[in-house]
Amino acid sequence: MEAQVSTASHSAGKWSPSREASDIVKSIHAMLHPRNIVLVGATDKPGNYAERIWNNLIKYKFEGGLYPVNSRRETIWGVPCYKDFSSLPDKPDHVLVLVPARFAVQIIRDAAAAGARSATIVTSGFSELQDDESQKLAAELQAAIRETGLAVTGPNCLGNLSAGEKMFTNIDDRIVTMEAGPVAIAGQSGAIVMAIRQALEDRGVGVGYMVTTGNEAGLETPDLMAYFAADPSIRVIVVYLEGVRNTKVFREACKAARAAGKPVIALKLGASEGGRAAAMAHTGALAGSIETFDAISTREGVIRVRGLDELIETTECFVHADPPKGARLAAVSLSGGKRGLLIDAFHSAGLNFAQLSNNASDKLARMLGPGSIVGNPLDAGFAAVVDPSVYMQSIKIMIDDPDTDIVIIDSELPKAPHELRERNLRIVNEMAGAASKPVVYISTMSIGFTEFTKGLRSRSASPNSPRACAGRCRISRSCRAWIGRWVRSRR
């Protein structure tokens, strides 16, 4: 059956940058909201990138024009194939470059001459290679991008996602939700950026944009950060960085995000000599010292995570819960051992649990009795195990205490025999929905991930119930990083 491909011009969507926006922001908007997409180097050889990208554009029903270009073909994939830009039925807008490296520079110049506004160069064979010919091609490509003014990602990248446009110019065949969610991701490694998207969507977190930047001959990750800071649909910015060439542009992007109230969560390669060498081999990036990056990031409020698990969980916290107004922590558990682990874990992040108010302490003491540790964190102990409703009341007392800024709850909620665990989760969620502070589930281990909790995550992303969002994220390990780093970044 032939693919049905629209050739109609496509609207840029509801939001557009203002006249006062920078040229970079405007050009990135054009790239992520294209009127049409032209695939240069279209081929139906089994397993090739061009066909896989085409299949994704068809599968997710991109509504703009789709035009394959190959001078040797008249048809391909069941649709007309065009010889060059001049033979297209419409002026090219976004161009995917899938030809060998030696042809890529001229394709960029030809695309610009034909009226294109942006391009993604999937082709590799430039600055990531150390031979003279590849380095020469890299320099020529940079000159072409600079002289034409095209917004270009790549080379050596894997394409982009713009969920609101149903645009997925990527080879990944895993399911994409195409939910224009609150998270935007950009980074130099296509595989890592794709894995981040998949992990977030598995947890019910929608990804609005995903951009793989590769060698960054044109647009660099800080440029994308500036765009994400300006786009009102984005609340959390996630970046994977191998190197930062222009610290001034990076700092300006961080400041724009901070002014917009959007956390920047960064995973930075290069903490070791081997990692810096890996960055050079992968994208030709000069990673620089991690100490320098940390100094800049700390000053500008960036949250640097140490690994992908921490990145995913910290992102999820920011998506579902409003940032705490202060660092006055309160926690509720059923176990004296877990109480101790909480104290140690948060202490390692430079955070401590303050004393509860006299009113809260008195209420808890009267209700819990022997077998509990009335303090902060609270070990509700024997009384809560015998009567789970006591645990729910303990949580409410902690939430209502005006001397706390955030309430952390052990995700292993007690339940009566033959009672469903989800019942008490719903009760806590209702309390969190009415709270004026974040309420976060935390686990000492990555357990309890069910379809029900995934559903809670998904429903928590609703922009119509921000306080309920605060109560519906279930998180492990990274809660302390989220609280501590955000509080310190706002000082």
In this prediction the pTM is 0.84
Q: Is 132 exposed, middle or buried (0-12, 13-18, 19+ CB in 10 A)?
A: exposed
* In a domain? residue 18: no
CATH assignment at residue 469: 3.40.50.261
Domain containing residue 200: 23-318
Same domain, 52 and 185: yes
Q: Are 309 and 335 contained in the same domain?
A: no
**Together in a domain, 312 and 347:** no
381 shares a domain with 298? no
The count of structural domains within the chain is 2
**Residue 117 gets which letter from DSSP?**
-
**296, 318, 340 — which closes off a domain?**
318
Is residue 233 situated within a structural domain? yes
Domain boundary among 266, 283, 318: 318
- Final residue belonging to a domain, choices 303, 318, 333: 318
Q: Same structural domain for residues 374 and 418?
A: yes
**Residue 188 sits in the same domain as residue 274:** yes
Verify that 113 and 160 share a domain, yes or no.
Answer: yes
Within this chain, do residues 29 and 151 fall inside the same structural domain, yes or no? yes
Predicted confidence pLDDT, tens digits, the chain (491 residues): 333 344 443 443 479 999 999 999 999 999 999 999 999 999 998 889 999 999 999 999 999 999 999 999 999 999 999 999 999 999 999 999 999 999 999 999 999 999 999 999 999 999 888 889 999 999 999 999 999 999 999 999 999 999 999 999 999 999 999 999 999 999 999 999 999 999 999 988 999 999 999 999 999 999 999 999 999 999 999 999 988 888 899 999 999 999 999 999 999 986 656 655 555 455 554 456 778 888 888 888 899 888 898 899 889 888 887 777 888 899 999 888 889 988 888 887 778 898 899 999 999 999 998 888 999 999 998 888 888 888 899 999 999 999 998 898 887 788 777 666 677 778 888 888 888 888 887 776 655 555 555 555 555 433 333 333 333 333 334 555 556 555 555 55
* Residues 31 and 94 sit within 8 Å (Cβ to Cβ): yes
Element (H, E) at 275: helix 273-283
Say whether both 293 and 327 belong to one domain. Answer: no
Measured from the Cβ of residue 464, the count of other Cβ atoms closer than 10 Å reads 6
Residue located via tokens 């649709």: 79
In a domain, 9, yes or no: no
Q: Is the residue at 6 inside a domain? A: no
- Domain check: are 264 and 345 in the same one? no
Instruction: Please report, to the nearest 10 degrees, the dihedral formed by the alpha carbons of residues 248, 254, 258, 261 taken in order.
Output: 150
* Nearest-10 crossing angle of helices 221-230, 247-259: 20
